[in-house]
Amino acid sequence: MKLWNKALISLSLSWTIFLIITCLTFYFLFLHHFLLIETSHIFYMKLITYYFIGYLTLGMVCLSVTLWLFKVFIIQRLQVLTHQVRKINKNNAHYGVIENYGDDEISSLSNYLQALINFIDTSQEKIETQVKERTKKLKMSNIKMQQEIIERKLVEKELRTHKKDLAALAHYDHLTSLPNLVFFTKMINQIMSRTSREKIKLALLYIDLDHFKKINDAFGHNVGDLALKEMANRFLKVLRVDDIAARSTADKFIILLNPIDNLQFVHLTAEKILKISSQPMKINMHEFILTASVGIAIYPQDGTSLEKLIKYADKAMYQAKHAGGNAFSEGSATTTPTIG
């Protein structure tokens, strides 16, 4: 039975009883008035009073019964429903169960609340699942991003290394690690620009290894390359800090003595180069001796540009080579060549 039907039946029954009793009361009053006229006025007034008191009492009883029914069928059940909802909310319980009995509006309300709780629980589970999946995806994306950052840093590091390698290839000889002719030209132009104002003398030594082709033909290019590397290291041992050695071509080297005070120092350095060059060399079980021919040009008397200095130093070097090699020659534009 529906709740409101119960309430209406209870109210209707109570008020029906109340109206019947009221009608019967007035009926007996009027009957007594007409049949017992001779009754004393005081007795009549008392009787009316008693009936009125009984009428009010009966009304209060009916009202109490109505309120009691309202409390039993509505108030108590709403209190129980409120208590269950608060308990579920306080404990933050999943799959909270609301007790339900009957088939009235409060029962329907309980069913609606239960369905709402189930929907909230299901939605919360879905949200938690989506959050976990999203968190997992974000972690994977973060790991992937970190890997990309690491890879990018490695690539940047490799690029910097490659740039250094390219710079080294652009300025240094890959075999001997000496400056190449391009870098040597850049450095000597800067030095000559400074020394021209300070009137400092420089010496250019152009070196060619005698009969180097025979080493390549006899022992192979690998031995020849190692011999060039060894010879470059020997040249560096006789030079000063500010002196510069470079590789010009295959078996030719160029040295700048910076600065020089006199020709005697230049000749002494050339003799050191000839001496250290002619020391025995042992590479890959092959032992042999290489000699060198050295041409000397003096700045600024033999030229004020690197092109002219190399031209005179190259000419002097061939003079030493034609003299039998293992010698140095000073080919000056203003003096007679000197062979040492």
pLDDT, tens digit (0-9, with 9 covering 90-100), for 78-129: 677 677 667 766 666 555 566 666 666 666 666 776 677 777 777 778 888 8
Tokens standing for residue 45: 């007034």
Query: Is residue 336 over pLDDT 50?
Result: no
Q: Using one digit for the tens of pLDDT, what is the confidence trace for 290-306?
A: 999 999 999 999 998 99
Residue bearing tokens 């002619």: 278
Q: What is the pTM of this model?
A: 0.54
Count of CB atoms situated within 10 Å of the CB of 100: 17
Question: What's the CA gap between 266 and 273, in Å, rounded?
Answer: 11
Q: Go through 110-119 and write b for each residue having 16 or more CB atoms within 10 A of its CB, e for each that does not.
A: beebbeebee
DSSP character at residue 200: -
Q: How far is CA 97 from CA 80, 91, 113, 122, 226, in A?
A: 13, 12, 10, 14, 90
pLDDT value for 106:
62
Mean pLDDT, the chain, rounded, equals: 79
Tokens standing for residue 257: 């003595």
Tokens standing for residue 90: 């306080």
Query: Is residue 146 over pLDDT 80?
Result: yes
Tokens standing for residue 52: 């009125």
Number of H helices, E strands in the chain: 9, 8
SS3 103: coil
Q: Using one digit for the tens of pLDDT, what is the confidence trace for 193-219?
A: 888 777 889 999 999 999 999 999 999
- Please give the helix or strand (H or E) that residue 196 lies within, else none: helix 181-198
H-only helix segments in the chain: 3-35, 41-70, 76-91, 105-171, 181-198, 212-219, 221-237, 263-277, 306-322
State the distance between the two ends of the chain, measured CA to CA, in whole angstroms. 135
Question: What's the CA gap between 255 and 237, in Å, rounded?
Answer: 13
pLDDT value for 128:
84
Query: Is residue 310 over pLDDT 70?
Result: yes
Query: Is residue 4 over pLDDT 60?
Result: no
pLDDT value for 162:
63
Question: What's the CA gap between 317 and 90, in Å, rounded?
Answer: 103
DSSP character at residue 338: E
Q: Which residue has the higher pLDDT, 331 or 235?
A: 235
pLDDT value for 32:
59
Q: Give the model's confidence band at 334: pLDDT under 50 very low, under 70 low, under 90 confident, else very high.
A: very low
Q: Are 22 and 55 in contact (CB under 8 A)?
A: yes
| CA–CA–CA angle 24, 25, 28 (5° rounding) | 85
Question: What's the CA gap between 307 and 335, in Å, rounded?
Answer: 19
